[in-house]
Amino acid sequence: MFTAVPSVLIFAALFARFMARRALKPISRIIDTARDIGQGQELSKRIPVLKIKDELGQLALTFNEMMNRLENSFKQVRQFSSDAFPLNLERHSLF
């Protein structure tokens, strides 16, 4: 009996560690993706969504939707800048 108790405790500790890692993995994925986007301005990167029905899945979907809107906004700004640049050159050449 005294040898069974330490074995059960060791097994319980290993199982708890496994379950904690498994539960925190989606959060780590979200953090890693957000960090990659922030450091490298990689606006096309998205968080992989595994389960849509849980809170983390909803968070990932919302984050991805936000990134889609940001990416589109940056594209529009770049397009506007490239369209306006030749007009700006013409205006300066007149004066």
pLDDT tens-place string over residues 58-71: 999 999 999 999 89
Structural domain including 16 reads: 4-94
pLDDT tens-place string over residues 20-37: 988 888 888 889 888 888
Q: How many domains does the chain have?
A: 1
Burial of 34 (0-12, 13-18, 19+ CB in 10 A): middle
Inter-axis angle of helices 55-94 and 4-40, to 10 degrees?
Answer: 20
Tokens of 94: 């007149």
